[in-house]
Amino acid sequence: FILYTSGSTGQPKGVVHTSGGYLVYAAMTHELVFDYHEGDVFWCTADVGWVTGHSYIVYGPLANGAITLMFEGVPTYPDASRFWQVCDKHKVNQFYTAPTAIRALMGQGTEYVSKCDLSSLKVLGTVGEPINPEAWNWYNDNVGKGRCPIVDTWWQTETGGHLLTPLPGAIATKPGSATLPFFGIEPAVLEPESGKEITDTEASGVLALKDSWPGQMRTVWGDHERFEATYFQQYKGYYFSGDGCRRDADGYYWITGRVDDVINVSGHRMGTAEVESALVAHPQVAEAAVVGYPHNIKGQGIYAYVTLMNGVEPTEDLRKELEKWVRTEIGPIAKPDLIQWAPGLPKTRSGKIMRRILRKIAENDYGSLGDTSTLADPSVVDDLIENRMNRG
Instruction: Give mean pLDDT, residues 356-366.
Output: 90
pLDDT at 8: 55
pLDDT at 273: 73
Mean pLDDT over each residue of the chain, to the nearest integer: 92
pLDDT at 106: 86
Cα distance between residue 375 and residue 373, in whole Å: 5
pLDDT at 376: 76
* Nearest to 369, CA basis, from 359, 377, 379: 359
Fold of 2-258: Rossmann fold (3.40.50)
Q: Give 392's pLDDT tier (boundaries 50, 70, 90).
A: low
pLDDT digits (tens, 9 = 90+) for 47-103: 898 899 999 999 999 999 999 999 988 888 899 999 999 999 999 999 999 887 898
pLDDT digits (tens, 9 = 90+) for 173-210: 999 999 999 999 999 999 988 999 999 999 999 999 99
* Superfamily of chain region 262-386: ANL, C-terminal domain (3.30.300.30)
In this model, does residue 306 exceed pLDDT 90? yes
What is the layout of strands, in order, in the sheet containing 41-44? 67-69, 41-44, 94-97, 123-126, 150-152
Separation of CA 213 from chain center = 22
Domain limits, the chain: 2-258, 262-386
Q: What is the pTM of this model?
A: 0.78
pLDDT at 142: 97
Instruction: Give mean pLDDT, residues 285-312.
Output: 91
* Nearest to 345, CA basis, from 301, 381, 320, 311: 381
Q: Are 1 and 160 in contact (CB under 8 A)?
A: no
3-class secondary-structure state, position 50: coil
pLDDT digits (tens, 9 = 90+) for 102-114: 988 888 889 999 9
Instruction: Give mean pLDDT, residues 146-162.
Output: 97
Instruction: Give mean pLDDT, residues 282-302.
Output: 91
pLDDT at 152: 97
Cα distance between residue 372 and residue 277, in whole Å: 26
pLDDT digits (tens, 9 = 90+) for 226-239: 999 999 999 999 99
In this model, does residue 348 exceed pLDDT 70? no
Q: Tell me which amino acid residue 259 is.
A: V
